[in-house]
Structure 1
């Protein structure tokens, strides 16, 4: 069906609401094409996109369609009698979308457990497990800009749907011809609101990740970037005896993200105002969680300046601290396992192997770590899991990234090393000196719209058929995860995914991966060298060489 046919089907449908119809009537032809040239894809991570009218946007109708497809999946797999847990973040329409999902499920005679106020993604994952639900729904666009919203679907283990489960849901969604015929039922008998008492059940388990009892002479600035972390993290840290100073302008629940330049703790500009506040009180560390509180970013006071530590560096320190301290205390099991991803630093496997701990490498996305944690739980003892994009899971009572757990471990680490005359920058340096200097960087090339999608496909298709070459490095081999793997470094088989990883001599690797949730082509770089400064210069040169190649395509 052409985009104009899709548009006409919507604008002329007698069941469409007045507000949506008004938005449709005000569209020019380009806007119609962007809104209707395709259906918003329900990928392995669910839905994510810009809010607005149309089949390619996030709106009440695409939310209902996704939920009906999920309901059909639950019924087909005899999970509908177990119910669904639902949570949501601070974004525009998040609460509205969450309750609309509950009403669609109620019309399918499926009960729901829904948080009466916004709560973090990891708490949703835990709620699925706590209530023994058949699945879960989180309404969030994570760290994306304010124009976005999204829909994450979870299985009964509290992990995001695995590939097989997601494909089943996608098939059921695609079978739905019209979102306007989907029924909703505002049934109180089907919907149970989760009370604030649930917080303590979850936080009591967070407390169990503690390894040491440092002096806690640490001054902490915390910001939830207007999102869900503010509902639980500051209060919890104070209860645990830490001196925490919330940055109040960003503690406000605000879908406009008015008091921050970015809602993404991976971006430097997200820290501007919280670091200004930290300077005014001479804080030791700044902690930022993204709007749905599954990612954590940190900045550390070092030589009178605040140094940002990236996701690979932070999770490497966490992995080392867990293994090193557990070994010292005689708590390190002989069947321990750490999970990492294909795009993450090689430092984490190096650390794990030095402690004789098993390493399992997955595709990008915590759904794969959650899946592997479930599959291997009877064989290995879970010790840590992480990915480069500022996400980690310390203990697997949750099966997704958990920034609440990460915050608690980070403040213990920072306090512990301060008791030993160091800060976290110093601690990271000691790890580098022991294992070598690992430097990683990601170039996010934003390519929006129809032309952007076509450009991303053109680039990945080219390098799939013409393996990457670099002037100063020899290609040793490469993994085409979407097809036949030519040079396999991972022990466990990986599902097919649009990922190309090239291995070069001199400890260099380069990955091409289109984002599954944003209009981006991600190019990842990893290099081990004699110093991070030298590695950074080399990566900058390699990146420029690759960009010049891409410009010629």
Structure 2
């Protein structure tokens, strides 16, 4: 029997294999028991879902188990972005939310993401407890279910649509008037939950929008719903071939990640967007505080922070750690290289909708393209180039990996190692400021290698040295 395991963003599985109704009900009951043990259950739980296959059905079965446990349940009437669900947790002051999403994973996946009352992704102490409870109950009928009719009649179930309140709040955090001066924007919700959350409010504020992939498609056009350069070539082509388009903005399947295409069709890496927005928020908006980034995210952020005299918080991979910093009011902005960010005063969860709109505001107010803004930033703080590659391991290499990575080499690509950081994986800082990070996948025989340097030649040398360290 498949064991329930929560990763950095919840429990995910393949539909009809391990992600089945029986397992979903067990995990739901485990969450209900966790909330009862913590004394939070009386506040109620929001249930949402993204645009994947059977999202509504899983949400309804979840609601039957929650209401069967006597927990008031607020179920979303349509597929809803992850950051919007986070916003609604805080607005309604609920015990949390159960969100059926596999984010940017391929269409055959679905998942359960639990967010507690503080609005961010559940921390390990919470997910470990839910895991334990679920695995102890696997294979048993350990829950009571109410019919939806009975749940509605008793007041334990209520339908909600949090779009209007979220967008009203967003209008206070984004300068739509500035964006309206930018010109034409291209929007790509990638068949996901951001439909209605980007193009429509932009148009309502007088922005001319060209939109593609704006219908629900559980196959996501045949690709993973990830707004990376590899999977949005149709969007890049649209921007490149239409000179009137000043900027392209895209979101992933559950709208917690962003993808930015400059006006000339160039895809801009998320690492650089986080650094640009940090500089913009400090310099133009006058925001004060630190900045949070994961251990795998560019040190361009550190250079910008040093330029402005602000503190950097380095976290393990997983937005829950950055979300904590936002919730505590410690940082202006927090982000990850995997295209997630949020800002001070907003939800402690990745928000691709907000990220896209902030970039549009920045480009409009600065009167420069994203690439031009990045070059200007490089002139001020230095050049940082970042890349991630996956190294597939044979059985022998996988067995040898723990011992190999425990050692600290004296140098990589001819530059001495200055420091080793083990906050999440093994990160080697070199004397010239470049670095490498090795993180072993928890689900497959793959090592993720992250490298950063000040030039393309140096970056490629680091990648080769990192690969040689693992494989050679």
**Residues 520-531 of structure 1 correspond to what in structure 2 (within 5 A)?**
520-527=446-453, 529=454
The answer as to 2:285 corresponding to 1:285 is: no
Single out whichever of 276-285 and 101-110 deviates more from structure 2.
Answer: 276-285
Deviations 1:425-480 (A, max 9, x none): 10110001100001111113467xxx88x965753453124658524121123122
The answer as to 2:158 corresponding to 1:192 is: yes
Distance in 2 (CA, whole Å) between partners of 1:358 and 1:211 is: 26
The answer as to 2:450 corresponding to 1:504 is: no
Distance in 1 (CA, whole Å) between partners of 2:392 and 2:85 is: 30
Distance in 2 (CA, whole Å) between partners of 1:98 and 1:467 is: 50
Residue 272 of structure 1 is matched in structure 2 by 233
The match for 1:59 among 15, 20, 44 is 20
**Residues 154-169 of structure 1 correspond to what in structure 2 (within 5 A)?**
154-169=115-130
- 5+ residue gaps, structure 2: none
> Is contact 2:387–2:452 with CA below 8 Å preserved after alignment?
yes
C-alpha change, 1:439 and 1:241, in structure 2 (3 Å) is same
**Residues 107-126 of structure 1 correspond to what in structure 2 (within 5 A)?**
107-126=68-87
- Say which SS state the counterpart of residue 511 (structure 1) adopts: strand
TM-score (ref. length: structure 1): 0.79
> Is contact 2:8–2:318 with CA below 8 Å preserved after alignment?
no
**Residues 100-249 of structure 1 correspond to what in structure 2 (within 5 A)?**
100-186=61-147, 187-188=151-152, 189-195=155-161, 198-210=162-174, 213-214=177-178, 216-247=181-212
The answer as to 2:335 corresponding to 1:389 is: no
Distance in 2 (CA, whole Å) between partners of 1:230 and 1:515 is: 32
Query: Offset at 1:171?
Result: 2.2
Distance in 2 (CA, whole Å) between partners of 1:202 and 1:75 is: 28
The match for 1:352 among 286, 305, 308 is 305
Query: Offset at 1:401?
Result: 0.4
> Is contact 1:285–1:301 with CA below 8 Å preserved after alignment?
yes
Distance in 2 (CA, whole Å) between partners of 1:84 and 1:457 is: 43
Query: Offset at 1:221?
Result: 0.8
The answer as to 2:465 corresponding to 1:545 is: yes
- Say which SS state the counterpart of residue 124 (structure 1) adopts: helix
Query: Offset at 1:307?
Result: 0.9
Distance in 2 (CA, whole Å) between partners of 1:542 and 1:212 is: 42
Bigger CA radius of gyration: 1
> Is contact 2:106–2:223 with CA below 8 Å preserved after alignment?
no
> Is contact 1:211–1:326 with CA below 8 Å preserved after alignment?
no
RMSD of Structure 2 on Structure 1 (CA): 2.3
Distance in 2 (CA, whole Å) between partners of 1:208 and 1:456 is: 50
> Is contact 1:211–1:325 with CA below 8 Å preserved after alignment?
no
Query: Offset at 1:271?
Result: 2.0
Distance in 2 (CA, whole Å) between partners of 1:523 and 1:77 is: 39
Query: Offset at 1:103?
Result: 1.3
Distance in 1 (CA, whole Å) between partners of 2:446 and 2:340 is: 19
Distance in 2 (CA, whole Å) between partners of 1:465 and 1:185 is: 56
C-alpha change, 1:356 and 1:201, in structure 2 (3 Å) is same
Query: Offset at 1:116?
Result: 0.5
Distance in 2 (CA, whole Å) between partners of 1:475 and 1:217 is: 46
Deviations 1:33-81 (A, max 9, x none): xxxxx5141235310122223xxx2221222221111111001001111
Distance in 2 (CA, whole Å) between partners of 1:241 and 1:212 is: 9
Residue 32 of structure 1 is matched in structure 2 by none
Residue 27 of structure 1 is matched in structure 2 by none
Query: Offset at 1:317?
Result: 1.0
Residue 441 of structure 1 is matched in structure 2 by 387
Distance in 1 (CA, whole Å) between partners of 2:72 and 2:277 is: 39
> Is contact 2:397–2:471 with CA below 8 Å preserved after alignment?
no
Distance in 1 (CA, whole Å) between partners of 2:349 and 2:217 is: 24
> Is contact 2:26–2:138 with CA below 8 Å preserved after alignment?
no
Distance in 2 (CA, whole Å) between partners of 1:168 and 1:467 is: 38
